[in-house]
Amino acid sequence: MKKILILILAVGTLLQGGCAIHTPEIQQGNIIDDKAVATLRPGMTRSQVRFVLGNPALKDPFHANRWDYIYTLDTGIKGQPPQRRHLAVFFTADTLERFVSDPPLQP
């Protein structure tokens, strides 16, 4: 009797979608926090920027005065595109000149 009950429960679970494929949430790159980016000010040193944002995802040897921070979040939900964020930080003589965020920072 126990075996039949277990079999019925197993079949019922499968019929209710218990065998659906789970797609995990995938985060890649640096998390770009608006509050942290809002603390950036022209004139900050590279080490101060690194302290606020962490190590950049990309340091291009051909553009040594630019650091790129990239973040992608794929929720795994069908039909929903991944969220992407890019922050480029520009330096002049080892001090922060400006930064550009895509999408723009929210006030």
- The whole-angstrom distance between residue 3's C-alpha and the CA centroid of its chain comes to 47
pLDDT, residue 34, reads 84
Token representation of residue 22: 């789970």
| pLDDT tens over the chain, length 107 residues | 777 767 676 666 665 655 566 677 777 877 888 888 889 999 999 999 999 999 988 778 888 899 999 888 888 777 888 888 899 999 998 999 999 988 766 55
Reported CATH class of domain 24-102: alpha beta
Distance CA 21, CA 37 (A): 37
pLDDT, residue 18, reads 52
* CB-neighbour burial class of residue 90 (10 A; exposed 0-12, middle 13-18, buried 19+): middle
Q: Report which of 72, 59, 81, 90 is spatially closest to residue 31, judged by C-alpha positions.
A: 72
pLDDT, residue 7, reads 65
pTM of the complete model: 0.69
Q: Where are the domains of the chain?
A: 24-102
